[in-house]
Amino acid sequence: MGRTSDAREKILTSARRLIELNGYSPLGVAEICKAAGVPKGSFYYFFESKEALVRAVIDEEWDEERGGWKAILDGDGTPLERLRRLFEATAAEQRAGQQSCGTVSGCLFGNLTLELSNRTEPVRARLQEIFDAQVAMVRAVVEEARERGEVTVADGDAAARAVVAQIEGQVLFAKLYNDTGLLDTMWANCLALLGASPPARADAA
Amino acid sequence: MGRTSDAREKILTSARRLIELNGYSPLGVAEICKAAGVPKGSFYYFFESKEALVRAVIDEEWDEERGGWKAILDGDGTPLERLRRLFEATAAEQRAGQQSCGTVSGCLFGNLTLELSNRTEPVRARLQEIFDAQVAMVRAVVEEARERGEVTVADGDAAARAVVAQIEGQVLFAKLYNDTGLLDTMWANCLALLGASPPARADAA
């Protein structure tokens, strides 16, 4: 066991990978520590329970993902260009995961929502915060696009939620069919949901 | 233990309810048999494994659900009226589940896709068949609506998949927030995805 900070990070990394592969329930502390290369005793030094671990995994994943979303959505370009880049980044992440694991592992937050939200209220509450934050970030860009007359939506919040729901639904299919090609339709669907111009009519964007 | 056919049905019903509540992984044979009120030994008389059981639960659920979908989509009314009824039935089923369990349990097929598809290939294959069938049923109605000039979609299959993905994504949110009100936006989103008239403009339908 190296420095304690290394051990905690190794446990989180291994747990993240195992949760991606098999979900939360089958995960065992012994298996995590073996994969992380740390003594089993060190687990409870850092995490009081498996639930505390999964919450730390969720927090770390969202810290990283939120940074990526922020960089894209606060970046250069028109609102729709930035939103499009977010969809491309989402698809690229799923393709990278497929290349490293052999299968599409899907969205960690979506996976844990369906597996855990009815079983542990703290996990449900944290996942709600994360999806609320995602919807708020998409909504801000949608409102910007609306001010520019590029989209026509009656309710910015509902529209942003529909966009995030479409991502979750299509990522579910990409996982089921182990086929990231299914994500290629996400952007056209997003434009349709927002009442924006279809991609073929770039002149109207 | 009653007639053997009763015992099998009781096991399936209890397993279905437990999977809805907690997912597949935490499910134990002893717990299922206790909930079903059948001796533990009878489980292996009917099912060779927990995986065989979940496959039987999936099959039974789809037999029932497919019947409901067929009755609606082959029923009376314009294609869009029938599709709308399918959305209403989906929301009504989630509300009924919430009333009986206290929480929205979501879509059994979506739940098991995210929990199990990367772990057991036979379950993945069966869930693929079911979602393929759902997409095909929606597609047939979308094509009918297209022939009547009521929707404008370039690719009927991709459009039908987007519609089913939107349902899965919104049902995921309904489960996460334990709020079936979130399903109220599904129909407007479906119309947008199909390039149909928004509900407020019924005159153009």
pLDDT digits (tens, 9 = 90+) for A86-114: 999 999 999 999 998 889 999 999 999 99
Q: What pLDDT score was predicted for residue A51? A: 94
Domain identity same for A35 and A61:
no
The answer to whether B169 contacts A167, with C-beta atoms less than 8 Å apart, is: yes
Contact present, B147 and B155 (Cβ < 8 Å): no
Residue B4 has pLDDT above 70, yes or no: no
Which chain A residues are Cβ-neighbours of B170 within 8 angstroms?
Answer: 161-162, 165
Global pTM exceeds 0.90:
yes
Q: Tell me the shortest Cα–Cα distance from A9 to chain B, in angstroms.
A: 25
Domain identity same for A35 and A70:
no
* Total tally of structural domains belonging to chain A: 2
Residue A204 falls inside a structural domain: no
Domain identity same for B82 and B163:
yes
pLDDT digits (tens, 9 = 90+) for A69-84: 999 999 999 999 999 9
Domain identity same for B102 and B177:
yes
CATH number of the domain residue B30 falls in: 1.10.10.60
Residue A177 has pLDDT above 60, yes or no: yes
Average pLDDT over residues B34-62: 95
- Out of A22, A128, A185, whose CB is closest to B176? A128
Identify the residue whose tokens are 């995961």.
A97
Q: What pLDDT score was predicted for residue B204? A: 38
pLDDT digits (tens, 9 = 90+) for A36-62: 999 988 999 999 999 999 999 999 999
Which of A1-5, A40-44, A155-159, B29-33 shows the lowest mean pLDDT across its residues?
Answer: A1-5
Q: What pLDDT score was predicted for residue B3? A: 55
Residue B144 falls inside a structural domain: yes
Domain identity same for B19 and B97:
no
CATH number of the domain residue B132 falls in: 1.10.357.10
Question: Does the ipTM surpass 0.90?
Answer: yes
Q: What pLDDT score was predicted for residue B200? A: 41
Residue A191 has pLDDT above 50, yes or no: yes
Domain identity same for B76 and B35:
no
Q: What pLDDT score was predicted for residue A41? A: 87
Domain identity same for A156 and A58:
yes
Identify the domain containing residue A120 by its residue range.
54-199
pLDDT interval class at A132 (50, 70, 90)? very high
Identify the residue whose tokens are 């995986």.
B51
Contact present, B190 and B86 (Cβ < 8 Å): no
Q: In a mutagenesis test of the B interface, which of A168, A171, A182, A194 is the best target, namely the one with the most B β-carbons within 10 Å?
A: A168
Nearest alpha-carbon partner for B170 in B150, B193, B151: B193
Which chain A residues are Cβ-neighbours of B172 within 8 angstroms?
Answer: 110, 113-114, 165, 168-169, 172
Domain identity same for B148 and B91:
yes
CA pair distance B97, A190, nearest whole angstrom? 30
Any idea what the Cα angle at residue A89 is, between residues A84 and A92, rounded to 5°?
125
